[in-house]
Every structure is written in C-alpha cells, then in structure tokens.
Amino acid sequence: MNQLTLKIALLDGFDFDSFYPMQQNRDALALLHSAFWQSFQQVFLYGEVGSGKSHLLQACCYKAQETSNAASYFSLKQLAPYGVRVLEGLDRCTLLAIDDLDHVIGNLEWETAVFHLINRCRQNGQPLLLAAHTNPHQINCLLPDLGSRLIWGPAYRIYNLDEMSALEAFKWRAYKRGLQIPEHIIKYINKNFPKDIQSLMLVLDQLDKASLHKGRKITRNLIQEIFPDNTLSHLIQ
C-alpha cells in the first residue's frame, strides 16, 4: 500500500515574534522558545478557540526550520477526511506538531492511529507537540492507552486575550508591521468591530493589504471602503 503524503503549509507570520506575550502564557512561551526537547520530549498545549495554540505550534516549526531541522505541522481537523494513512511516516520528522487533537477523539480508528504515532515518536526520540481545546487529563478517549500517552509530558494552558489585551495586541501587531494607525482610528475599530483577537487580526490583515495596494494611509474612509457594513462576514468561511 502506498503511503499518502499530505503537507499543510505554515501560515505566514505565525512565528514567535508575532505572538503577543501575555503574562499568563509566560511559562509556556519560555519553554517553547528554548530547546524544550532537552527536558521534555512531548509537550501538550490546550486552550479555547482563538487562544493561539495553532500559532505557537507553527512558531515552533518555523524556529526548527531556521536551524535546518525538518519540522512538520498538521491539523487533524484538516487531515481527517483523508483517513488515518496520512499519519504514516510522520515520525521521521525532527519535530512534529499535531493540532486539533479533539477532532478525532471518539473515533476509535483515529485514536488507535494517533496512539501508535505517539509511540513511534517516543521510540525514535522525536520531539512532539500536541494541541487541543481540552486539558489532556480531562480528555475522554475511547482507547485508555491513548489517554495515558497524552499526559506523558507537561501540559500548558494557553490563555485567551481579554478585550483590552486583544486591542493592545492589535496595536502591537500593527507596530510590528510598520503600520501607523492613529489613536482615533483605533477607537473607531474598537467601537465598530468584534473585540476578539481573531476578528481584530482579520481587520488588520485587510487594512495592511489595502493600504499597501492603494498606497493610502489607514483612515476611516479606507475602513468603510473595505468593510462597508462594518462586518467581517465576507472574510469568514
């Protein structure tokens, strides 16, 4: 049987420099920034949607690739339609990051495949990053042996930004990109758009692209051209 090979590209900008350094995430960031595999072969990140787990997994892969180490990021939510064969051979990477583990919990075939993958990584001495919404100690696996594997290493909760922190992160990311957004425009965005970090980053991405493409400063008129009804529905699939 031929191996089915799929590769999920890392998203531009999902590196450590663009991750807002919230105080509650300090310990997790310190570990991931370091060569964590010297202390722990396996690390688990958990937290709510939008907390930044996927960002951090991809940031670790970017960091590994900077030193010519082979690293792969995979979302089980994206891979699930292709079947468990996509997990074959992943234990050959220098660093493997597996996201959206929750998506396959409750499916015995997938749980078994993930169980064997974790075992192969451990046998090969391969660093492994896992991420899910739920604390690994509270994940109800159909396969008890998988549950025991998920807690082999330390688990860190990645905290969501509150509304004030999300706005600060928006301004911080804009500064990192070299964008000059006046304070009255920041207030306009804060008043008229959703205040979660995912929505604010969508707004920032569109403003960045439009400002560059049109050669214009970021003004209320430009925002109203991009978002005529102050909604993001046309950007969210």
Looking at the domain assignment, is residue 50 inside a domain? yes
Domain that holds residue 46: 16-157
| Mean pLDDT lowest among 25-34, 55-64, 66-75, 141-150 | 66-75
User: Same domain for 71 and 41?
Assistant: yes
* pLDDT tens digits, 62-115: 888 877 677 889 999 998 888 999 888 777 778 899 999 999 999 999 999 999
For the stretch 190-203, pLDDT in tens is 888 888 888 888 88
Last-in-domain residue among 119, 141, 157: 157
- Whether 138 and 187 share a structural domain: no
Query: Quick check: 50 pLDDT over 60?
Result: yes
Query: pLDDT above 90 covers what percent of the chain?
Result: 38
What's the pLDDT at 1? Answer: 37
Residue 120 lies in a domain: yes
CB 159 within 8 A of CB 187: no
In terms of Cβ atoms closer than 10 Å to its own Cβ (0-12, 13-18, 19+), residue 232 is middle
Structural domain includes residue 202: yes
Do residues 145 and 174 both lie within one domain? no
Q: Is residue 111 part of a domain?
A: yes
Domain count, the chain: 2
Is residue 186 assigned to a domain?
A: yes
What's the CATH code of the domain at 31?
A: 3.40.50.300
Q: Tell which of 127, 157, 187 closes a domain.
A: 157
